[in-house]
Amino acid sequence: MPRAVSDGGENLNASDGSGNQALSHCGMDSSGYRVSFPPKKSLLEEFSDTVKDMFFAGDDPLRQYKEQPSWSKRVWLSLQHVFPVLEWGRHYTLGKFKGDFIAGLTIASLCIPQDIGYSKLANLPPEIGLYSSFVTPLIYTLMGSSRDLAIGPVAVVSLLLGSLLKNEIDPKKHPLEYQRLAFTATFFAGITQAALGFFRLGFIIEFLSHAAIVGFMAGAAITIALQQLKGFLGIRTFTTSTDIVSVMKSIFKSAHHGWNWQTILIGASFLGFLLVTKYIGKKNKKLFWMSATAPLISVIISTFFVYITHADKHGVAVVKNIEKGVNPPSANLIYFSGPFLLKGFKIGVVAGLIALTEAIAIGRTFASMKDYQLDGNKEMMALGTMNVILSDKNLFIIGGFGRSAVNCMAGCKTAASNIVMSIVVLLTLLFITPLFKYTPNAILSSIIISAVLGLIDYKAAYLIWKVDKLDFLACLGAFIGVVFSSVEYGLLIAVAISIAKILLQATRPKTALLGNLPRTTIYRNIEQYPDVTTVPGVVIVRVDSAIYFTNANYVKERTLRWFEEEEERQRQQKFPQIEFLIVELSPVVDIDTSGIHALEELFRTLEKRKIQLILANPGPTVIQKLRSAKFTELIGEDRISLTVGDAVKKFAPKAVDSV
């Protein structure tokens, strides 16, 4: 019979999880191929390989520099790595500029009203939001690796920043101290982000699962929308809490004397306009410009309406004055000492990590759509550098990639569209900001509400529910935490559930009982393949995880439990007495001393019962460690087989014939 090939260890060229060959050399014995040991590496080689795998995905970070013939080219390559504009700028054409110019104008029309609204969300003066969309796009054009990302403030980070800052300082009583703490948090957010990128520690943000992010974003969207009801309904006195219960109480308490019908009429009319244009743009991609320009059109029309009707004299709250001109330096306002230094650091780290998580996720989405590579560590460096510079330029934390979809659909070709947006915002700051004096707050609330509704991804939540109930628990926990408590607690719940899931999977790995597919030498999970048959006198168990100190004892106990259950079942079916326990190790990519100790205990337990322990298809890392610990001597190298099929054929040939 020809040797069957499968992913359970029967493939003679099987590789371990890292892509390295499981066998460096294959020998033959009387029963077939046997397991060989990989070449022994020095301590330096092992350390080097570990560093490459952990920080560079197995690649040599200096390889491209070694290939350069001269030092000048190596320096130029280094500069290109830090400033990607030096690479794509050499191939920039007039055709690309046309696409970038149109895209830049389009996202500028979207970002100007949004920036004013997001500043209010962070309890900061409206001009600070505009400053952020003037300075940061220029920096990102130099350092960013994405062609599609449009830079500026973002709703969720603005809400989170405002919520965390307000817990420390009242923005109404102490506005200057509040702004100083915001700049301090921005500075430390940038330091954190840049450090993660420089030291290639981006994997840290991946501890927040996709499911938790979906729930957190949806909860934040609802919280943001609820906060906008103050401006949307024209309420003067509003709760400072963000949970839904407090907000609804505040709304209904002011229903009879605090609502302003003119404000509601303006807000509802333009919210309907924004939602309709958004729907049209979504249904017809060619009309995307309608949803992109709708916010600016709403601001222009509503501002003109309030000006000619004097609606501000009838209770309609307006933006009032926005400072004209470019942003002044603010390095002297950052807290580098005193009690607010540590508070600014904590707020900056939390808000910075959330901004990073959103940025990298959306950046990778667009990179995948347009089939180019996004360097996550470069993005972290760029985002971090921007925030450090922002803290010196009277700005607050950015990471706003929500407008990137508009940038992409508008036909941007490179990051140069950000330069166009920056120039438009600069002209606005220099000449147009006084015209926003009569812009009603209800319009800004409507713009923010229409923008954050897109953060509620109910399709993703439903998919999570169908695929993984534990993931859905993380999603639901984050959502409930944000909506019913606060953004901070929602974030804490999201992180806690994500880490709890990691710990659960690490401490309770999957194991499976294997059986034989009839007329083959393939052995598969009996729950997945009901037609498989168990081999009389043999129990075959597969471990589906690395064996570490966190799960070693559980793996041993679960393997013995499989053995005892199968032993009892075979006894009831009058099968021969079990003589062999085969442990399939192909999914086990690593093992530590606790894992080896657990295997030794398993071996001795079985030995007392006169049962032989057989190992099948251990990978190179595992077999090398077993040999170093002299476990191979304890069990006998002849008790280690290349495949489960080889093990059964060698130790229970009669059982094979009876299957």
Mean pLDDT of 624-629: 93
From residue 654, give the alpha-carbon distance in Å to each of 65, 87, 535, 540.
60, 67, 10, 16
* Statement: residue 11 has pLDDT above 80: no
Angle among Cα 293, 452, 421 to the nearest 5 degrees reads: 40
Identify the residue whose tokens are 């939602």.
Answer: 275
Predicted confidence at residue 248, as pLDDT, reads: 92
Q: How many CB atoms lie within 10 A of CB 293?
A: 18
pLDDT in tens, 218-252: 998 899 899 999 999 999 888 878 899 999 999 98
d(CA 337, CA 146): 37
Domain 27-40+508-658 in CATH 3.30.750.24? The answer is yes
pLDDT in tens, 98-123: 999 998 998 888 888 988 988 988 99
d(CA 100, CA 408): 10
**589 and 546 Cβ atoms separated by less than 8 Å:** yes
Mean pLDDT of 32-58: 69
d(CA 95, CA 408): 16
pLDDT more than 90, % of the chain: 43
Give which of 458, 437, 405, 461 is closest to 110, Cα–Cα. 405
Predicted confidence at residue 54, as pLDDT, reads: 65
Identify the residue whose tokens are 């309420």.
Answer: 235
Q: How many CB atoms lie within 10 A of CB 345?
A: 18
Q: Against a cut of 0.85, is the pTM above it?
A: no
Average pLDDT over all residues of the chain: 85
Amino acid residing at 261: W
Residue ranges per structural domain of the chain: 27-40+508-658, 93-503
* pLDDT grade for 585, boundaries at 50, 70 and 90: very high
Identify the residue whose tokens are 């059986």.
Answer: 515
pLDDT more than 70, % of the chain: 90
Give which of 375, 462, 468, 367 is closest to 408, Cα–Cα. 367
Predicted confidence at residue 402, as pLDDT, reads: 54
d(CA 373, CA 358): 17
| Phi and psi, residue 124, nearest 5° | -120, 160
The 3-state DSSP class for residue 147 equals: coil
* Statement: residue 208 has pLDDT above 80: no
From residue 316, give the alpha-carbon distance in Å to each of 35, 235, 236, 297, 448.
80, 10, 10, 19, 18
DSSP 524: E
User: What residues are paired with 615 via a beta bridge?
Assistant: 583, 640
Give which of 35, 29, 9 is closest to 632, Cα–Cα. 35
* Statement: residue 444 has pLDDT above 90: yes
Predicted confidence at residue 655, as pLDDT, reads: 62
pLDDT in tens, 483-542: 998 888 888 888 888 888 889 989 999 999 999 998 888 999 999 998 898 888 999 999
Mean pLDDT of 67-86: 84
**89 and 145 Cβ atoms separated by less than 8 Å:** no
**578 and 566 Cβ atoms separated by less than 8 Å:** yes
Angle among Cα 581, 587, 593 to the nearest 5 degrees reads: 75
* Statement: residue 389 has pLDDT above 90: no
| Phi and psi, residue 179, nearest 5° | -65, -40
- Sorted by sequence, the CB contacts under 8 Å of residue 205 that are 6+ apart come out as 196, 353, 356, 357, 360
